Structure 1
C-alpha cells in the first residue's frame, strides 16, 4: 500500500509517527527536547483542547506565530480535531492578518505574544478591536477565541496553558474518534499566497494532496530516519510546514525550528545539533558560506540541501559540495496553488542541471510552457508555465472569479511564471509574467539578467526591474548588494554587463543597497523596488 494512502490524513500521519518513532527525538526547541511519543501526546492534548473549545470539523483555525514547538503542537492539534489550518505570514501587519482571518472565517486563533519587538496581540487589537462582534476582537465577529502562545494574555484572551487545561476533561476516545473521522479528500489547510503583489488569496489544499506530494518530496530528496533538520523556512509557508514538519513526521526526522534566520545562530545550531538537512533559499546558504567565522564551526554533518529560486548560481552548488562536503544539493520549484511542489531535480543530476533548472515534473503531474494564446511551445522557447495533476488546489477559498482566472476546466493551472523546458523536461523559471519588461521590442527577463550579474565577483545579491524610458519604452535598473570590501561602481558593472550580455538586457542604471527587500519566504519584494524607482 502506498505510504500516503496508509496514513489517510495528517492526523493519521501524526499517530503513525508517534508509534513508529516513539523513542526518536522529534523536536529540539531551545532547552526543550521531546520524543515522537511525547509529541504525539502533546498534539492529542491540543486536539482535546480544540474539541473542548467548540472547534468543529471543517472550522478554520488560524495561527500567527514564528517557528516553534508550540506552533507544531497547536497546528497539528487543530488539524487532528478536524479543523482546516490557516497559517498567517509573520510579516503581516495587524490589518493584513485581520483581513485573512475575516475572509477565512477563522473561529479560533493561535497567536504569538511579542515577536521581533512587536506585540501581535496589540497589533490585532488596533486592527480589529472595534465592531459589532462579541468575541475578543469585535471587528472579527466569527473569531470566537484567541489563544496566546505565552504565559501571559489579556483578560479576554487565553494563555496556552489555560487553553490546554480546558481539554483535560475530554475523553481520549472522543479525540481519537474526531481524528479518525478526517478523510484525505477534506481540506487540510488554506495557504494564503505571499501577497507580494495584490491581495493574498487562500489556496484550498487537501490532506491527500499534502501527504502524496511530500511523500514524493522525501523520496526524491532522500530524507531518512536519523536526519536532523534545521527548519529556518517559516512554518506559515509551504516550504516550512510541509517540506519541513510534514516531511519530518514521515521519516522520523528530528526538527530544530529556528524562528528567524540569523547566520550566527544557524551556524551554532548546525554545529551543536549535528544538523544534516538544511533546505532554504539560496541567500541562506550563501550567507553561511561567506560568514567569516564559518571555519570555527563543525558543519561536517550537513549532507542535504534543497533550495529553489529563479536564480541559483552554479558556483553556489559547487561551493556547497566542495567547501562544505554536502553530498546532495537539489533545486525545486513550486507554488502555493500546487501544494508547494511542481518540479524537482533528482539525486545524481549534473551540477549544471541543478544550478540552471528546477528539475522535472514530480510523478503524477504534467508541466507545459505556452504562449499568450495557450498554445504549447517547443523546448527552449520561453512562455507561461502551466501545471496539471494531483497537487493542484481545489481553488481559492470562496473566490470563484479569481479561481477561474488561473484554473481551467481542463485542469491546467496558470502559474503566472515564465519558464523554459529543455529537451529532457527540466524546467528553468526565468521570471514572473508581471516582472518581464520590453526594451525596444525585446522581452527582457529580470531573473536571467540577475543570474548573469550574479557572476560578477563583487556582486553578493542583485535584483532587476524595468523602469520607463522615453526612447526604448522600458530599460533595466539593477539593485545590487556589494560583497564585503568591494568598491565596485555602477559604471563598472554596466561596462562589465555590456561585455557579458545582449545590449537590450544591460541595466542602464545601478543602485547599491545594504540588502534587498525580501518577504519571509525569501522572495525579493519587487514592488518595494518599484516604489523606490518612483
Structure 2
C-alpha cells in the first residue's frame, strides 16, 4: 500500500477488524468493512467528477457518517478536506469556499438553505435525496466502482484546511498535513491512554479541530467505535452514554456544565465513562469538584488549530493540584515562553507561549504573510497567548495578546465583528470586547459611537448583523457611547473598556 496518509486508515482497519463497528449514529451502524466500501465508492465518484490530488473537497453539515466518509474519500485521492462551520452565515461560507478554491461542496439537508444562496458555489453534491441541486450522494456511491484505490500519499501532503478567524477580521485557513494529524493522534493516544475498546462520544461538531483530531480520529486509529451526535443536547448525551456504554468524550466547559445542571445528573448511569477531556476554555474548579464527587475526572487541554490542535495538557490527577493550569506539553510536543528582553528569569515572569513539534502546521492556505507572523524560521508557533510557568513546568494562561474571546467554546475575534458593524451606515466607530457570562463563558459587548443625528438601537444592529455573521459572533450587549477611550498612540483602549 503506497498510501501512508489518513485515507488508508479505513482499508487498514477493514483488513484487521472488518466486523467491528466504526461509526454509530441515528443513521445506523457502519462497520470498518462498511466504512471502507463506502469511502472507496465515494472516492471513485469524486474522481469521476474530475477531482484528484491537491483538489479541495468542502463539506457543510452536522456530525454524521457522510462527513467522515467525505474526509477519508478526499484523502484517498490525495485531495484536501475542508469541513465548514455550520453556524456561519452564507457570506462567510462563500468567502471560505472561494478562499480555498474548493472544487466541490458536499452538503446535507440542514445546510440546503445556505447552499441555495451561495453566489459562487463549486460543484455540489447533496447528501440527502431531494436536498437541493447537484449530484446525489447515495446515487453516486451506488454507481461507482468498488476496486481499491492506492494513491501515493505522504505525511507532508496537505490533508485539512480548517478556518480560524484572524485578528484582521479575515478568516485564515490553517493547513494541516497528514503528518500533523497523525502525530496529534499519537499524542492523544499517549496522554489519554486510549484502547481498542473505546466507545467515544463525538459530541462537539466535527468542523472543530478538537472533535476531529482529538476525538474521532484517535478512536478510529485504535479501532474503537465513534458515536456521532448530530448536535449538542444534554439529555441525548445521557441517553447515548447509557445506551452504548460510552467510555470517553470531549467537550467545552459549557457542555460539561450543562450536564452537571441537568436534573438527570445525579441519577444517570455514567459508570462506563473512563476519560473526559475539556478544552476551548479553562474549566472552573467548582465544576471539576462537581465531577469528582461523581467519581469522574476531567483532563484539560490547551491548543489551537495551527497545532492540530494539542499543545498542553493537564492530567486528571493534577486537575485540582494545579487548578487553573493549562498543563505541560504533549508527549511529542514542546513549549516555552518568549519573554520580552526587559523581563527577568523567574518562573513567574510572563511571556508569549510558543509551541514546537510535528503537529505544527506548515502555514495558512495562500497566506505567506500571515504564516510568517506566527511561525519562526526554526518552526516555533506563536500562540498569541501570554502565560507563565511554575517551578514544576506547568503553564498558566494569564492573558491574550490578541483580543480574541471564547463564547461557548467558539473563538470570536473582535476585529471581524467590528468590520461588519462598521458596514452599518449609522456606525461611526466601534469596539468589541468579551465580557463574562455564566452560561457561555464570555459573550460579546459592542461599544458603538453613532454618526451625528443617527437613531440606532441594539435590535437594529442585531438585525443588520444577522446573515453577515454567525449568531455566536453577534454581540449580546451593545452600549452606545459618545466617545471611546484611547491609548497614547491613538488606539482604542480596550483594557479601559473592560
Q: TM-score, normalised by structure 1?
A: 0.74
CA deviations 1:475-520 (Å, max 9, x no partner) are x99544389xxxxxxxxxxxxxxxxxxxxxxxxxxxxxxxxxxxxx
Task: Name the counterpart of 1:428.
Answer: 396
In the alignment, is the contact (CA less than 8 A) between 1:370 and 1:385 conserved in 2?
A: yes
Q: Deviations 1:448-498 (Å, cap 9, x if unpaired)?
A: xx9xxxxxxxxxxxx9x9xxxxxxxx9x99544389xxxxxxxxxxxxxxx
Question: Whole-Å Cα distance in 2 between the matches of residues 477 and 64 of structure 1?
Answer: 28
* 2:139 aligned partner: 162
Q: How does 1:343-362 map to 2 (within 5 A)?
A: 343-346=312-315, 348-349=317-318, 351-353=320-322, 355-362=323-330
| Residue 408 in structure 1 maps to residue 376 in structure 2 | yes
Give the equivalent residue in structure 2 for 1:258: 229
Q: Secondary structure at the match of 1:185?
A: coil
Distance 2:313 2:17 in 1: 28
- Residues 51 and 167 in structure 1, CA contact (< 8 A), matched pair in contact too: no
| Whole-Å separation in 2 of the counterparts to 1:53 and 1:255 | 30
Match of 1:40 in 2: 36
Equivalent residue number for residue 279 of structure 2:
308
Matched with 2:241 is 270
Q: Distance in 2 between matches of 1:401 and 1:195?
A: 13
Q: 1:412 Cα deviation (Å)?
A: 1.9
Task: Pick closer, same or farther for the CA change 1:158–1:428 going to 2, 3 Å.
Answer: same
How far off is 1:396 after superposition? 0.7
Counterparts of 1:284 and 1:316 in 2: how far apart (Å)?
11
What are the equivalent positions in structure 2 for 1:329-368 lying under 5 Å apart? 329-346=298-315, 348-349=317-318, 351-353=320-322, 355-368=323-336
Which of 47, 51, 58 aligns to 2:54? It is 58
Shift of 1:125: 3.1
Given the superposition, is the C-alpha separation of residues 147 and 358 from structure 1 closer, same or farther in structure 2, using an over 3 Å criterion?
A: same
Partner secondary structure for residue 100 of structure 1: helix
Q: Point out the structure with the larger helix share.
A: 1
Is 1:101–2:91 an aligned residue pair? Answer: no
The 3 A distance-change label for structure 1 pair 53 and 31 is closer
Judge conservation of contact 1:228–1:255 (CA < 8 Å) in 2. yes
| Alignment CA distance shift 1:211-1:366 (3 Å) | same
Which piece of structure 1 moves more, 182-191 or 422-431? 422-431
Specify the SS of the correspondent of 2:248.
Answer: coil
SS of the residue 2:377 aligns to: coil
Number of equivalenced pairs: 430
Residue 117 of structure 2 aligns to a residue whose secondary structure is helix
Q: Deviation per CA, 1:101-126: give whole Å up to 9, x if none.
A: 10101101111212xxxxx3332332
Two-structure CA RMSD over aligned residues (Å) = 3.0
CA contact (8 A) 1:9 1:208 kept: yes
SS across alignment from 1:154: coil
Alignment partner, residue 132 of structure 1: none
Determine if the alignment matches structure 1 residue 127 to structure 2 residue 118: yes
Greater displacement, 249-258 / 287-296:
287-296
TM-aligned CA distance change 1:255 to 1:20, over 3 Å? same
Of structures 1 and 2, the one with the larger relative CO (CA 8 A, separation 6+) is: 2
Is the aligned partner of 1:12 residue 2:8? yes
Partners of 1:85 and 1:70 lie apart in 2 by 13
Cα deviation, residue 45, structure 1 = 1.6
Distance in 1 separating the partners of 2:34 and 2:383: 40
Match of 1:149 among 127, 132, 153: 127
Task: Say whether the 8 Å CA contact 1:94–1:127 is kept in structure 2.
Answer: yes
Listed as ranges, the gaps of 5+ residues in structure 1 are 115-119, 129-138, 437-445, 451-462, 466-473, 484-522
Structure 1 position 481 matched with structure 2 position 402: no
Q: Does 1:245 align with 2:245?
A: no
1:60-80 deviations in whole A, cap 9, x for unaligned? 110111111111112211111
- 2-structure distance, mates of 1:277, 1:385: 29
CA deviation map 1:33-63 (0-9, x unaligned) = 1222222222122212122221111111101
Corresponding residue for 1:172?
Answer: 147
Structure 2: gaps spanning 5 or more residues = 415-430, 441-469, 482-498
1:432–1:259 distance in 2 versus 1, CA, 3 Å: farther
Distance 1:532 1:35, change over 3 A: farther
- Secondary structure at the counterpart of residue 354 of structure 2: strand
* Aligned equivalents of 1:400, 1:530: Cα separation in 2: 36
TM-score, normalised on structure 2?
A: 0.79
Aligned pair partner of 1:219 in 172, 179, 190: 190
